[in-house]
Structure 1
């Protein structure tokens, strides 16, 4: 049975609101919650970017049932992998085993801020692979010294480490990244509803590896009026139309504004399910279910209707989604 999650969008809500939404989402029946980890929003209209790890710590204490995950953290430029290993271990202890560390190769929007530049995609993948190996080593609880191509670690020891470490989910986009990361990760993260990604990941895993989960994410925009929903989705999510091949390399919200200036409201409505009709919203999620994703995180676009969505819409929408998955 497909599990359905709620997305804590740090780009569109402040930290206290995010914690409040997390509690309400658990009450509404979501199975898990994922958080973005950004230094900047994509568009200035979104208006937020609190530190995700502080929010996640608060969410871990404010909730008791839902799983919690980063979707995703880049452990290569803005964060050193040794630091990511430490905070992920702490999160797992705070969450009583409910935490999954979602990792990816990052976006220029968030990583350029520390002034280390933005490497080409092949180098980013190499850096991510090395970072995953360091995080795995530190989660054993042993003292780690590492001299790699991109990172150095000197006698590092994560003192508060959960038994068994922290499950790692890794974002992939094609055969090359699957071949590289399937043997290293526990679970798959992918944004495109493609069954081939899930099948390729399973084939690339070691024969004795336990089953992986495949975690996807789908934006929707509920509003009492369809045009209101389309207007909101266009204002907040028109950057989405560029695709990750473009989005990963743009450095600022101004760049996203320029890249998306010709994206029409009709274009957004064609790619994001919008409006009050819950059956239409389910249709927007259905491709991920049909592709075989075990976990699908829902993004309700925009902060302005977030509380109303959670109070009035989440429970009946979840019932329809679970019926569709069944």
Structure 2
């Protein structure tokens, strides 16, 4: 979470994670932190370049939004560059965005259906550039939201990065199954996640694709600390976002989130984020998500106790998980 740590610290934790048995890194693409006290918001592409140099596993932007702050062509160029530097390791996560980050460029902030349409058109533009550039030819695009004059990417790997689409809704999940290389979602009640995976699989079948061959990625927030009291304190102070039971997409300021965070209570995390000092409870929680059908799970411990978390989970949790 680049909102919580200076970039050099984040890179160091990625390296430490790998030494403790973790095999990949997802980094957030924010212009602002969720809350003022989180205190950071580094540029994700700069940090990913450093992570690639210091680790050997997979890595990508958990969700970037190639529609407002960055044109899809610029996101395609950044992704292709990383994939050229670190072959077969980088993937590209695409989302529809949140006002917290995207409103800063002064554009009109549209309703959800338009944001989703923009996202899928951005995926189309990026895929056009990847496909044409690998073939050594130019391409162009003219759609409802984006224009691309005749061009290509001049730095391009032999194999394009996989494009994963982020969604929390069944309609978007089915649409993603038709066109994306994989799905990203965040922790939610088990039945809701199972339904989401089912709709993604339906979309893949509609397009004549094998859903089991497509990555199904989960970003799982959790709060672990040596005591339950400390774990809950970390959740309430560092990640009250996890207890907010309403849409956050239209909130524009970390200071607005700070006001809303004051309403979050310990019971608000129930069913949304596991808060516990017991590594075995976390292991069982992660295992259940693997059993649902996710094949990659990126863990975010919400506290500042990252080194301690990486050591404990690398020793007591990861070795006991079944793929």
Same fold (TM over 0.5): yes
Residue 76 of structure 2 aligns with which residue? 85
The aligned runs of 1:184-223 (5 Å cut-off) are: 184-191=179-186, 192=188, 193=190, 194-205=193-204, 206-209=207-210, 211-223=213-225
Q: Distance between the aligned counterparts of 1:218 and 1:264, measured in 2? A: 20
C-alpha distance after superposition, 1:88-119 (max 9, x if no partner): 00111122220110111011111011111211
Q: Does structure 1 residue 163 correspond to structure 2 residue 155?
A: no
The aligned runs of 1:167-186 (5 Å cut-off) are: 167-186=162-181
The aligned runs of 1:1-326 (5 Å cut-off) are: 9-64=1-56, 66-140=57-131, 141=133, 142-191=137-186, 192=188, 193=190, 194-205=193-204, 206-209=207-210, 211-243=213-245, 246-268=247-269, 271-303=272-304, 305-320=305-320, 322=321, 325=322
Structure 1: tracts of 5 or more residues without a match: 1-8
2:317 alignment partner, SS class: helix
Structure 2: tracts of 5 or more residues without a match: none
Task: Flag the 1:287–1:312 CA change in 2: closer, same or farther, 3 A.
Answer: closer
Cα displacement (A) at 1:247: 1.3
Q: Distance between the aligned counterparts of 2:271 and 2:115, measured in 1? A: 32
1:247 alignment partner, SS class: coil
C-alpha distance after superposition, 1:13-58 (max 9, x if no partner): 1100011111111111112211111111111121111111100000
Q: Which has the higher contact order (CA 8 A, sep 6+)?
A: 1
Q: Distance between the aligned counterparts of 2:268 and 2:174, measured in 1? A: 34
> Is contact 1:219–1:300 with CA below 8 Å preserved after alignment?
yes
> Is contact 2:174–2:201 with CA below 8 Å preserved after alignment?
no
C-alpha distance after superposition, 1:174-210 (max 9, x if no partner): 3321232222101111223412221221221122457
> Is contact 1:272–1:284 with CA below 8 Å preserved after alignment?
no
Cα displacement (A) at 1:68: 0.7
C-alpha root-mean-square deviation of aligned residues, in Å? Answer: 1.7
Residue 3 of structure 1 aligns with which residue? none
Cα displacement (A) at 1:218: 1.2
Q: Distance between the aligned counterparts of 2:24 and 2:319, measured in 1? A: 15
What TM-score do the two structures reach when normalised by structure 2?
A: 0.91
Count of residues in Structure 1 that have an aligned counterpart in Structure 2:
312
2:92 alignment partner, SS class: strand
2:214 alignment partner, SS class: coil
1:74 alignment partner, SS class: coil
C-alpha distance after superposition, 1:97-145 (max 9, x if no partner): 2011011101111101111121111110111111000000111203222
Q: Distance between the aligned counterparts of 2:234 and 2:240, measured in 1? A: 10
What TM-score do the two structures reach when normalised by structure 1?
A: 0.90
Cα displacement (A) at 1:292: 1.4
Q: Distance between the aligned counterparts of 1:312 and 1:178, measured in 2? A: 34
Q: Distance between the aligned counterparts of 1:208 and 1:68, measured in 2? A: 25
Task: Flag the 1:137–1:270 CA change in 2: closer, same or farther, 3 A.
Answer: closer
